[in-house]
């Protein structure tokens, strides 16, 4: 049974190929699923794949929510505030 490929989770700041694979392995294939997942679910997905905590993990659901809602402008604005996954808003 072929599953649909889902969304490009690697668009999210802080999610690379290894983390993307870990999330898909945990059943998270779309931006909406990522937006709805809580931090402990995401952390468990990483641990099961042998990955350590990702510093940007707390921002993933916010980023994914913009993409799930088709809000490319909001996503880009948030992505510009994130450097290495850390929210640096308020500093210009």
Q: What is the pLDDT of residues 47-82, one digit of tens each?
A: 999 998 788 999 999 999 999 999 999 999 999 888
For residue 10, give both structure tokens: 């690697």
Cβ contacts of 50 within 8 Å, gap of 6 or more: none
Question: Average per-residue pLDDT in the chain?
Answer: 88
Q: Give the pair of three-digit tokens for residue 13.
A: 């700041």
Q: Which residues of 64-83 are buried (b: 16+ CB within 10 A; e: fewer)?
A: bbbbbeeeeeebeebeeebe
Alpha-carbon distances of 36 from 9, 30, 50, 80, 91, rounded to whole Å? 14, 10, 23, 22, 29
Query: pTM for the complete prediction?
Result: 0.82
């Amino acid at each position: 049974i072929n599953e649909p490929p889902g969304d490009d989770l690697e668009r999210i700041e802080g999610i690379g190929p290894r983390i993307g694979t870990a999330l898909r392995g945990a059943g998270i294939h779309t931006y909406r699923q990522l937006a709805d997942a809580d931090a402990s679910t995401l952390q468990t997905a990483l641990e099961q794949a042998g990955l350590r905590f990702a510093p940007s993990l707390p921002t993933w659901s916010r980023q994914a929510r913009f993409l799930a809602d088709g809000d490319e402008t909001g996503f880009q604005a948030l992505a510009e505030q994130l450097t290495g996954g850390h929210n640096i808003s308020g500093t210009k």
